Amino acid sequence: MNQLTDDFHRPRKVPGFVSHRMARGRMDLEIHAGVLSEDELFVMAERENPKRGFLFVSKVLGRHIPVTAARHRRILQLLAGMARPHIAPEGGVLVMGYAETAVGLGAGIHDALVDLLPGDASMGYLPTTRHPQGRAVWFEFSEDHSHATGHHVLVPSDPALALIAERARTLVLVDDEVTTGKTFLNLIRAAVAAGRSFDRIVLVTLTDWSNGRVAGTIRDELGPGTDVRIVSLMRGTWSWTPTADAAAATIPVLEGSGPAGSIASDAGAWRGGIAGRTESLLDPIRHMVEPSWSRHRGALVIGTGEYVWQAFRLAEDLQALGIDASFIATTRSPILGGGPIVHKATFRDHYGIGVPMYLHNVYPEDWGQIILLGEGDAMDALDPVLTDYIRNFILISHNGEVTKYLEGEPRA
């Protein structure tokens, strides 16, 4: 077992009842067990979403709060170490993570399992995506409570990975949290409709608010022939009581025109799956790395939307060079300010579909260096509102092209 997981491999009892009062309601949590405490894992916030008024804001995911590369890697190792005893690698393993929030988490669990499973194990990673960009789609499903409901699973781009997707007997589904389990069920139903079946399904999540019941729900749906397991860093139950006179939430929109951003035609191949280890984007900026980046709070790598696993990998490689490095990603998730959301920048999306996106809890002046990763063609997929906010940063495109921004303007 990896030394970092030794102290946390067996869940310890952290029972307790916690009540969170917010403007639109009260969240009551009954925590039954966990390997980390609530303070270490998440804080509660409110969504700007009429379907669901609350959000578990993770402190370890790198989506709404910057997290150090070292801490995120530790979380990946913890979860992968807990999942490993439940995985039978002999028949092949397909790992899947959910867009947008858990795309990077799923890739990270796959990456950590590479170290834990036998070297000859047949394993690959295939995320869901909101942005198929004209690529061949294997199957689709919806996430009922989300502000962006549609999920697409692409036909794997690599023939070896396509074979794993077609034949793997173990499915590992990764999400940041589970409440009702409907998102897990909707993917499984779509996979079954596309002709797939699995002998074992392992659900991996940071927090399980079904208290383990989701595994039974899925088992009941698929029948006794499928073995369903679930591992998490915390499990319990939740109860949401809306405030009677609270104003109804609405999903935000942006007025006016914006840049016609899109994923470049030669970008996004990773959406068709990842096999093996992932190379980072360190080489294009290796000559620019300076020890002074660790002043203040170090270097921050910002991913864009679903393009977040690569941001973590770059932060981790910077850390290996002695730089204090953290990462975060922009998001479509509309969250009310206040509480854990001390600041948010709002701008047009990176994909050209006309929805607002956000960068949460980043004060540019706090960082010795900021590096932004993008999938668009040159700078046309970056809203000037975002570049004007960050002002001084290094942009790395999907193909390794580097542009330095000073005072919000690109410089040669």
Per-residue model confidence as pLDDT tens digits over 188-229: 999 999 999 999 999 999 999 999 999 999 999 898 888 999
Residue 46: phi and psi, rounded to 5, are -110, 135
**C-beta atoms surrounding 316 within 10 Å:** 19
pLDDT tens string 60-77: 999 999 999 999 999 999
Q: How confident is the model at residue 8 (pLDDT cuts 50, 70, 90)?
A: very low
Q: Which two tokens stand for residue 194?
A: 């596309």
Of 41, 112, 43, the C-alpha closest to 78 is 112
Mean of all residue pLDDT scores within the chain = 89
For the chain, the domains span 277-411
Q: Which two tokens stand for residue 134?
A: 């004209």
Q: What would the mean pLDDT of 308-323 be, rounded to a whole number?
A: 97
Q: Is the pTM of this model over 0.95?
A: no
Is there a contact between 86 and 200 (Cβ–Cβ < 8 Å)?
Answer: yes
Quick one: pLDDT at residue 134? 84
Quick one: pLDDT at residue 16? 85
Q: Which two tokens stand for residue 52?
A: 């669901």
pLDDT tens string 36-65: 989 899 999 998 877 788 899 999 999 999
Of 152, 216, 151, the C-alpha closest to 178 is 216
Whether 257 has a pLDDT exceeding 90, the answer reads no
Burial class of residue 244 in the structure, from the number of CB atoms within 10 Å of its CB (0-12 exposed, 13-18 middle, 19+ buried): exposed
> What does the alpha-carbon distance between residue 211 and residue 159 come to, in Å, rounded to a whole number?
38
Q: In the block, which residue shows the tokens 């199957």?
A: 139
Q: What would the mean pLDDT of 163-169 be, rounded to a whole number?
A: 96
| 68 or 120, higher pLDDT | 68
> What does the alpha-carbon distance between residue 204 and residue 270 come to, in Å, rounded to a whole number?
21
| 280 or 125, higher pLDDT | 125
